[in-house]
Structure 1
Amino acid sequence: MIDATTTAAPSQELAGAELVRAYAGGAVSPVDVARGVLEDIEANNPAINAFSNLDPEQVLADAAASEARWRRGEPLGPIDGVPCTVKENLYRVGIAARAGTASSDPVMPVRNSPVVDRILEAGGVIVGSTTMPDWGMLSSGVSSLHGVTRSPWNPDWTVGGSSGGAGAAAAAGFGSIHIGTDIGGSVRLPATWLGLATLKPSDGRVPIDNPYLGRAAGPLARSVEDVALAMSVLSRPDVRDYTSLPPEKLPWDELDVDVRGKRIALHLEPGAGMPVDPEVRAAVSRAADLFSDAGAEVVELKPFMNERYLENMDAFWRVRFWRSYVDLTPEAKTRVLPFIATWVHGGADVSGRKALEYFDSIADLRRATVDATQPFDAVLSPVASVAAFPADWPMPWGHDDAGMAHISFTLPYNMSGQPASSVNCGFTSDGRPIGLQISGRRFADLETLQYTSWYEKARPANATPTFPSGS
């Protein structure tokens, strides 16, 4: 475990928004911040394993260019000089991407993903690409290519997944803003198990050039303010994403909200999958009490998930990745993570009729989610039923195959396209973070972040993370 008593580098002391203010006033140099981040990575990343790619010379060159712009008074955008990371599957020109698996040849991108372009256009300094598990289909940091990515809080704990490297980098202070992707909980699960803030945005809010049913890209950070700062850069239309939303100037820096009179749902029973740990339930209930005490009307939300939805989603994904697996050479198949190789066989030779049944079930889940949540301004729930599990487990229950039993709270909002955040709301008795999920109506991304910011400011000290710091 990293010694939390050591002195932090400038990048760890200052959030992204604070860094920009410091750059503008000449109090801090982007080059000094970049050097501090790189020193932290050199000292602490060997125990964490957050990166799939690092190029310190390029990082320093980009930071020097930012410093020159600030000296001229000509910053490119609201994150000029802010250190950022991007998940491995968010393509960067000339940097090999392998989707976390040792089984297939690397993709050498010839163009950046929209996310990467938005960061660079705004002057962000990309520190590196972060790790992910095989094909992004595990909720842990276990990868046949990268090995195990571990929690900065405690190397014995999981980072979650599939944006595990992004979460690890955020918790370790390897930059201010970290972008992951989420198709069933993949930015919110690392956030809950690492004490972070995040937003899984509405479909199309953050363009990606490989849109897929339920997939979104979203920022992870130590604060809601930095999540909002990232969204101010990322949430711009891009023709490469056919789901991209039309232009909309949202005031992402306006995070204040009055919760009095708001109708807030409290969703504690998943309806399917893993039962909720009592410590998780208690932490989320205490968070709901704060909303109630502040004048919100808090109403219990009955479960709207069921085992059929979970099982059909799991089966649909198995079919999808069986197609990837079956095209591999026999030798390449031996390099797939054994857990994933076993899992994809559940999708072998599924009939077209069954595959359509799985697909139709997704539409049913979407309808059920919208019907259940539409009456409310926001819905409070756990992100996950359990806190962090051992780092070398591929899933929260270990190495057995339990399908997708852990995503009953997160999956619905991917399929419905609604925004959903995570913010830390407490700790287990042994110190593991617990995340509160706050979901909103579709396209109410800013409103959802406002409720998340409200809770972040209102939460007690014993629910507020003090992140471990490195060298």
Structure 2
Amino acid sequence: MTDLELAFTGAVDLARMIATRAVSPAEVVSNALSRIDEVNPKLNCFCFVWHDEAVDAADAATRAVARGEELGPLHGVPVALKDTTPTAGHRTTLGSYTHEHWIPDRDAYIVGALRRAGAIVIGKTTTPEFAHTLVTDSPLWGVTRNPWNLERTTGGSSGGSAAAVAAGCVPLAEGTDMGGSVRIPAAWCGIVGLKPGLGRIPMDTLPGLFDLMSHHGPLARTIDDASLFLQVAQGPDDADILSLPCPLDLPAPVPASVEGLRLALSIDLGLWAVDPEIEVAVRGAAAALRDAGAAVEEVEVSVTRKDEEIWVDLWSVFMATYYGHLVETYAAKMDPDVLDLIERGNKLSAVQLKRLEVERTGLWRRLAPVFASHDALLCPTMATGPSPAAKVDRPKDRPDDGRYHAADMTGVFNLVAPCPALSVPCGWDGHALPIGLQVVGRRWREDTVLQIGRAVELAIPGAIRRPPI
């Protein structure tokens, strides 16, 4: 029988309880495995659960505590990895039949970083094929469902990780974010998700090391847990030549004062049609931050449809470059949306691709004045609530009213990749589904966005709940 209080205890508290011998790693991991066994048949958030290996690691961690050994900051704490992250000796499928039986011969940097901190990897979480979209529904593993409403998606592409954290399977899970893939499921599952600035966490999971949109980030139930993940996972490391040479000093616990901070607020970023309930929740969070001492100013932000197209073009080239060679053999088993992206990417010339850098520069020049005069930008993470869980059930047509009806407001901030972006719960809609506030910071100021997120946690405690599963 699962102990739900233990299942929903955060990573910071679990590590403290383990260090003081209030609970053992063996008990914590056994409880986590029990919770996974309970909810995974309903959620499909794990594609692999390493029961025996996790139990053995927990027993070893328990003996280390008994011997009085020096313990890492995550000693004995169970964590999950996204199934796009290479793990030596364990299948890594990328949600695709193309990699159904792939067993990497090395661990990605992030795996080693978490284990060096004492974490116990308990399994791997579901993702859409090649992490390509915001609905976690893959040809290989099927539909992953939202703990708040099983008919709705978790979001994606780190949807399995988000559902696992939200449902109390693990307190921390790793995700990747190329266009919102950490923040989107965090918002739709009612948890915390952070896209750090480019290079903060070394990333060596892709075939190439010079991608300028891709990030590892934590899925967590609290800001303090997300900060702890960042603390143990940040570089530098030569595994990623673009990893930042200077680590960030992250105080623990995360400070909650926003006194004197200057915050910009934009509900629609100049483009999106935002659900009225989401606007109310985001404005409520901004008002709470103002009451806490921050100076909040509504600003005009000029994101355009062209900016969104830039992201899609870059994403298409990414897909065509890394996975296009698989089409000839596996097309019949691949997601049609992936095939469309690959086809689009193959049509772009080298000159057109280089031109995207110029257009991307234009976006930064429009955003830079906002960050020059403000410590962070506040906006919704998502413009709508979660869509149906299965891709086949998504609405086929968007309203034809001249407005931009897209769900995520996240990918544009991958185009300005050094800027960290956080999603933190800020309220609930009329269907009892969570709403996320997005906090976008100045370049590599993860400490500031975490600080603002912590202030939101304290100001809106009702935004954090347990799902009815």
TM category, shorter: over 0.9
**Aligned counterparts of 1:175 and 1:207: Cα–Cα separation in 2:** 23
**Aligned counterparts of 2:418 and 2:393: Cα–Cα separation in 1:** 25
Residue range with higher mean Cα deviation, 8-17 or 228-237:
8-17
Q: 1:30 aligns with which of 25, 44, 53?
A: 25
Helix, strand or coil at the partner of 1:439 = strand
| Cα distance, 1:295–1:228 mapped onto 2, change above 3 Å | same
Aligned residue in 1 for 2:258: 259
Aligned residue in 1 for 2:440: 439
The letter for the 2-side match of 1:421 is L
Tell whether 2:29 aligns with 1:64.
Answer: no
Tell whether 2:214 aligns with 1:215.
Answer: yes
Residue range with higher mean Cα deviation, 222-231 or 327-336:
327-336
Contact between 2:7 and 2:35, CA under 8 Å: does it hold in 1? no
Superposed CA offset, 1:359-388 (max 9, x none): 432233233333332311121110011111
Written as runs of structure 1 = structure 2, the 5 A alignment for 1:87-236 is: 87-104=82-99, 106-209=101-204, 210=206, 211=209, 212-236=211-235
Written as runs of structure 1 = structure 2, the 5 A alignment for 1:284-303 is: 284-303=282-301
Aligned residues: 462
| Cα distance, 1:252–1:411 mapped onto 2, change above 3 Å | farther
Contact between 1:140 and 1:164, CA under 8 Å: does it hold in 2? yes
Aligned residue in 2 for 1:320: 318
TM-score (ref. length: structure 1): 0.92
**Aligned counterparts of 2:397 and 2:344: Cα–Cα separation in 1:** 16
Helix, strand or coil at the partner of 2:152 = coil
Tell whether 2:10 aligns with 1:15.
Answer: yes
Contact between 2:148 and 2:468, CA under 8 Å: does it hold in 1? no
**Aligned counterparts of 1:297 and 1:163: Cα–Cα separation in 2:** 33
| Cα distance, 1:301–1:106 mapped onto 2, change above 3 Å | farther
Give, in angstroms, the shift of residue 191 of structure 1.
0.4
Aligned residue in 2 for 1:310: 308
Superposed CA offset, 1:282-341 (max 9, x none): 100010011122232111121221111111221232233234454225341111112322
Residue range with higher mean Cα deviation, 32-41 or 55-64:
32-41
The letter for the 1-side match of 2:27 is D
**Aligned counterparts of 2:359 and 2:443: Cα–Cα separation in 1:** 20
Residue range with higher mean Cα deviation, 260-269 or 157-166:
260-269
Q: 2:344 aligns with which of 334, 343, 346?
A: 346
The letter for the 2-side match of 1:279 is E
**Aligned counterparts of 1:454 and 1:207: Cα–Cα separation in 2:** 28
Q: 1:55 aligns with which of 43, 46, 50?
A: 50
The letter for the 2-side match of 1:345 is E
Contact between 1:232 and 1:252, CA under 8 Å: does it hold in 2? no
**Aligned counterparts of 2:266 and 2:111: Cα–Cα separation in 1:** 35
Contact between 2:360 and 2:415, CA under 8 Å: does it hold in 1? no
Aligned residue in 2 for 1:457: 458
The letter for the 1-side match of 2:267 is L
Aligned residue in 1 for 2:362: 364
Helix, strand or coil at the partner of 2:326 = coil
Give, in angstroms, the shift of residue 98 of structure 1.
2.2
**Aligned counterparts of 1:252 and 1:395: Cα–Cα separation in 2:** 44
Give, in angstroms, the shift of residue 135 of structure 1.
1.2
The letter for the 1-side match of 2:218 is P
Q: 1:280 aligns with which of 272, 275, 278?
A: 278
Aligned residue in 2 for 1:3: none
Contact between 2:172 and 2:225, CA under 8 Å: does it hold in 1? yes
Superposition RMSD in Å:
2.4
**Aligned counterparts of 1:129 and 1:86: Cα–Cα separation in 2:** 5
Helix, strand or coil at the partner of 2:61 = helix
Give, in angstroms, the shift of residue 50 of structure 1.
1.0
**Aligned counterparts of 1:199 and 1:249: Cα–Cα separation in 2:** 15
Contact between 1:310 and 1:408, CA under 8 Å: does it hold in 2? no
**Aligned counterparts of 2:356 and 2:250: Cα–Cα separation in 1:** 39
* Long gaps (5+) in structure 2: none
**Aligned counterparts of 2:396 and 2:27: Cα–Cα separation in 1:** 42
Give, in angstroms, the shift of residue 275 of structure 1.
1.0
**Aligned counterparts of 2:196 and 2:418: Cα–Cα separation in 1:** 8
Helix, strand or coil at the partner of 1:115 = helix
* Long gaps (5+) in structure 1: 1-5
Contact between 1:76 and 1:121, CA under 8 Å: does it hold in 2? no
| Cα distance, 1:394–1:69 mapped onto 2, change above 3 Å | farther
Give, in angstroms, the shift of residue 394 of structure 1.
7.0
**Aligned counterparts of 1:236 and 1:55: Cα–Cα separation in 2:** 27
**Aligned counterparts of 1:413 and 1:332: Cα–Cα separation in 2:** 30
Contact between 1:271 and 1:307, CA under 8 Å: does it hold in 2? no
| Cα distance, 1:414–1:359 mapped onto 2, change above 3 Å | closer
| Cα distance, 1:240–1:7 mapped onto 2, change above 3 Å | closer
